[in-house]
């Protein structure tokens, strides 16, 4: 299947024609009418599909108004307005719209073709773009990174008093993630009696709660034990979650004192609270042979702040209704909010440029110290437990798309084989080049 593209030529500075004059380059294949399909047909990302989304309509209706009143109404609760928010929102309004760029996909056998609009590739805002990122990332986890051993999900939360610090100091949650990884590693080493045990940790930094509210916390995907220097895996024994919570609590308070966010007297006062607000949950366990569950769990750990199936936007009533994903508890139920307030609440979760929201520690780190030196299977770089070690220096948060089985990934997401013509399903496509990148 031949893919030809025409990059959009319209520019914001006025250079070039209007986006509506964009066109797709014609292929050199002779024109032959398809007996069962029209000549041109938009793909599933036709202009009507993204514009019908409640989030798209909410952003297009209220983004400009929000920018004019944000400092007065919302800056105190959600922090100052950041330039990256407007940039991501503008890209989102162009996502999946043919006027802003597309690829033309054509079958050489029957000349059937359609247009596929470019996506914005934005993270933690666009549900479509973030879902594609998660699909690529979880496939990379399954095929490249995760060891064939049991894993456990560890969720760590901090009290409300400390959450505001993460709002105005965005990289603070990354510092807390490092403290959490050290705390969990120390707990496993202590219980196993293995001081040099290497624990694999994938840390996902989340800032949203079940109602898209500001709730910074951590989701850790942890090997249920650790590796010795010779590659032998040692299981994490039964542990006391209360002791782990207390260790995490004291470590975070020491971090805040070291960063001079508050003094030792304030930290000592928080240690006297009967209900500290810190919590560690470790009940979710994944057996080593359940790879499907561990990838689903990873997608949940790094999920998008907004779920479209739980969002309703009434343009006439100027109201947004959002349903919680919790069946019980204080955050369960459905909430109706003002469109401007809900939009400000959602936009606050957009990460800054360059901010790493997925981190890797211990056995899953880029260059752990035991890679160097002599002795031990891990040090010598030999594969252990039928798993090759991760490539040092690779960008853990953004695995390259072109190196994976893209066709199989598309088939998994959209339940359609991109290498087969929809008109002639028994014939393979002539070729399947990767889709062109967005400008």
CB 368 within 8 A of CB 198: yes
Residue 101 lies in a domain: yes
Residue 107 lies in a domain: yes
Strand partners, 214: 208
Domain boundary among 380, 396, 421: 380
- Containing domain of residue 105, as a range? 1-47+96-120+413-439
Same domain, 277 and 371: yes
Same domain, 138 and 264: yes
Residue 64 lies in a domain: no
Residue 398 lies in a domain: no
Same domain, 100 and 142: no
Alpha carbon 346 to chain centroid distance?
15
Q: Note the pLDDT of residue 378.
A: 40
Which helix (DSSP H) or strand (DSSP E) does residue 301 occupy? helix 291-301
Residue 247 lies in a domain: yes
Q: Note the pLDDT of residue 107.
A: 79
Q: Note the pLDDT of residue 363.
A: 94
Same domain, 115 and 141: no
Q: Find tokens 């505001």 and name the residue.
A: 164
Same domain, 285 and 167: yes
Residue spans of the chain under pLDDT 70: 1-48, 367-419, 422-439
Distance CA 190, CA 236 (A): 10
Output the pTM of the full model.
Answer: 0.78
Same domain, 108 and 157: no
Q: Note the pLDDT of residue 396.
A: 45
Q: Note the pLDDT of residue 418.
A: 64
Same domain, 136 and 235: yes
Same domain, 214 and 294: yes
Same domain, 154 and 248: yes
Per-residue pLDDT tens over the stretch 149-203: 999 999 999 999 999 999 999 999 999 999 999 999 999 999 999 999 999 999 9
Residue 203 lies in a domain: yes
Same domain, 131 and 29: no
In 147-177, which positions are buried (b, 16+ CB within 10 angstroms) versus exposed (e)? bebbbbbbbbbbeeebbebbbeebebbbbbb
Look up residue 152 and give its two tokens. 């456990």
Residue 132 lies in a domain: yes
Per-residue pLDDT tens over the stretch 70-105: 999 999 999 999 999 999 999 999 988 888 888 888
Q: Note the pLDDT of residue 405.
A: 56
Handedness of CA 339, 341, 346, 348 (dihedral sign): positive
Same domain, 160 and 105: no
Q: Look at the chain and report how many structural domains it folds into.
A: 2
Domain boundary among 357, 380, 403: 380
Same domain, 23 and 140: no
Q: Are strands 214-223 and 311-314 parallel, antiparallel or unpaired?
A: unpaired
Residue 146 lies in a domain: yes
């Amino acid at each position: 299947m031949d893919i030809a593209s025409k990059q959009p030529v319209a520019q914001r500075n006025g250079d070039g024609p209007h986006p509506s004059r964009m066109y797709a380059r014609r292929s050199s294949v002779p024109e032959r009418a398809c007996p069962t399909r029209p000549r041109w047909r938009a793909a599933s990302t036709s202009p009507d599909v993204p514009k019908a989304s409640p989030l798209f309509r909410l952003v297009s209706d209220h983004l400009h108004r929000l920018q004019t009143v944000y400092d007065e109404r919302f800056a105190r609760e959600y922090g100052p307005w950041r330039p990256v928010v407007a940039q991501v929102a503008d890209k989102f309004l162009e996502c999946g719209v043919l006027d802003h760029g597309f690829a033309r996909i054509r079958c050489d056998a029957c000349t059937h073709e359609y247009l596929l609009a470019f996506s914005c590739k934005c993270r933690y805002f666009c549900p479509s773009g973030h879902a594609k990122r998660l699909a690529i990332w979880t496939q990379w986890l399954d095929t490249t990174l995760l060891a064939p051993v049991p894993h456990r999900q560890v969720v760590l939360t901090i009290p409300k008093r400390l959450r505001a610090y993460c709002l105005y100091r965005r990289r603070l949650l990354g510092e807390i993630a490092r403290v959490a990884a050290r705390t969990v590693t120390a707990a496993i080493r202590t219980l196993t009696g293995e001081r040099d045990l290497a624990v694999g940790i994938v840390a996902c930094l989340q800032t949203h709660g079940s109602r898209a509210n500001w709730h910074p916390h951590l989701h850790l995907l942890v090997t249920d034990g650790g590796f010795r220097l010779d590659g032998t895996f040692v299981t994490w024994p039964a542990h006391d979650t209360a002791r782990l919570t207390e260790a995490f609590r004291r470590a975070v308070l020491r971090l805040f004192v070291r960063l001079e966010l508050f003094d030792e007297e304030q930290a000592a006062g928080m240690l006297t609270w009967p209900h500290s607000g810190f919590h560690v949950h470790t009940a979710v366990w994944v057996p080593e042979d359940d790879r499907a569950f561990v990838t689903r769990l990873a997608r949940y750990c790094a999920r998008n702040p907004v779920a479209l199936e739980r969002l309703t936007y009434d343009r006439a009533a100027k109201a947004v209704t959002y349903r919680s994903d919790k069946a019980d508890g204080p955050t369960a139920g459905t909430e109706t909010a003002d469109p401007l307030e809900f939009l400000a609440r959602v936009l606050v979760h957009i990460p800054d440029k360059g901010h790493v929201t997925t981190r890797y520690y211990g056995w899953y780190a880029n260059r752990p110290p035991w890679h160097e030196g002599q002795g031990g299977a891990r040090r010598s770089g030999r594969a252990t437990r039928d798993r090759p070690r991760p490539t040092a220096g690779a960008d853990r948060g953004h695995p390259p798309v072109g190196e994976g089985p893209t066709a199989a990934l598309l088939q998994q997401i959209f339940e359609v084989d991109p290498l087969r013509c929809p008109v002639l399903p028994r014939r393979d496509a002539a070729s399947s080049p990767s889709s062109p990148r967005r400008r």
